[in-house]
Amino acid sequence: MSSDGDITSNTATTKSASGPDLPDLDIEQFRVKPGQSLDLGAWDPQETPGWDSADKGGAKTTVKRLNDRLEELQELLWAQGKERVLVVLQAMDAGGKDGTIKHVFDGVNPSGVKVASFKKPSKVELAHDYLWRVHRHVPANGELVIFNRSHYEDVLVVRVENIVPHDRWMKRYDHIVGFEQLLADEGTTIVKLLLHISRAEQGERLQERLDRPEKHWKFDPADLGPRSKWADYQTAFEEALSRTSTPTAPWYVVPANRKWFRNLVVSEILVQTLEGLNMSYPEAPPDIASMSIPD
């Protein structure tokens, strides 16, 4: 990223990334309100509210502007070195987590951005409490950390696949709320995103992995197991989001069938969240104007 972008003062200013000819995006329509009883069947993963469903060109233009703004804000986050940002990505298999990371965070400074992926726990991880492996990856000052899957696997997979007893995983909603409140109290801004796709869309994406040799590496036969339990996983997501979306750690349900709109929504949520931190660059040395670089 270039360091001589549009931020011309010591304090970051809020700017519209959409431009005069493109619609603003109300991110509140995707937010799960605290205490809201969630029915994912009422959230259309195909919708593109406020946008013509065919306007990929306009959306990509807007995403590029948002990417540029996200680069500025992430560099400001890193330079200030005070705030911490955690982005949680959850989805069904083939839901677009990797694609979102690739497209939304294109161009950010890798010094201040980390991705933590949580797959099947190792023996060492299973020998500890379920939050142990997660807590080690939360952001430090100035960092933006993306969780590709997360601690929510322990109320999703664990629940649907009957890995631990019901009375054990049921307690984990309160654990998670407390854990996230701890992070928030210590200065971490948390954004949680469910990339919401339909069962039909998942089927098409999985089939594409079979049909295209260059995507064979992404196909895992084990993904077909959760697909056969689609309704159970939807129920698990609904309860998890309903019980853990809080003012300090909100969930957003992102319509993700259309990848271009998914990228647009996620980019807008992140830019608005970072702008809301009202960050500023550190003060320069008082005598910097008189300094020069020796030959």
Q: Which of 59, 17, 24 is nearest to 262 (CA)?
A: 59
The whole-number pLDDT of residue 7 equals 32
What secondary structure letter does DSSP report for 54? T
How far is it, in rounded angstroms, from Cα 46 to Cα 157?
A: 25
How far is it, in rounded angstroms, from Cα 270 to Cα 5?
A: 18
Positive or negative CA dihedral for 179, 180, 183, 184?
A: negative
- Set out the domains of the chain in order of their start, with CATH numbers: 44-277 (3.40.50.300)
The whole-number pLDDT of residue 169 equals 97
CA-based angle 194:198:199, to the nearest 5? Answer: 120
Q: Which of 233, 3, 286, 190 is nearest to 95 (CA)?
A: 233
The whole-number pLDDT of residue 24 equals 66
The rounded radius of gyration (Å) of the Cα atoms in the chain is 20
| The total number of residues written for the chain in this structure | 295
Query: 184: which strand partners?
Result: none
The whole-number pLDDT of residue 287 equals 80
Q: How many CB atoms lie within 10 A of CB 23?
A: 14
How far is it, in rounded angstroms, from Cα 259 to Cα 101?
A: 12
278, amino acid identity: N
Q: How far is CA 207 from CA 63, 91, 216, 256, in A?
A: 28, 18, 10, 17
Residues of the chain with pLDDT under 70: 1-24
| Burial track 75-102 (b if 16+ CB lie within 10 A, e otherwise) | bbbbbbeebbbbbbbbbbbbbbbebbbe
The whole-number pLDDT of residue 291 equals 82
Q: Decide if 133 contacts 125 (C-beta within 8 A).
A: yes
Residue 242, SS3 per DSSP: helix
How far is it, in rounded angstroms, from Cα 128 to Cα 124?
A: 7
pLDDT digits (tens, 9 = 90+) for 41-58: 999 999 999 898 778 888
The whole-number pLDDT of residue 222 equals 80
How far is it, in rounded angstroms, from Cα 127 to Cα 36?
A: 35
Q: What is the dihedral of CA 137, 141, 142, 144, to 10 degrees?
A: 20
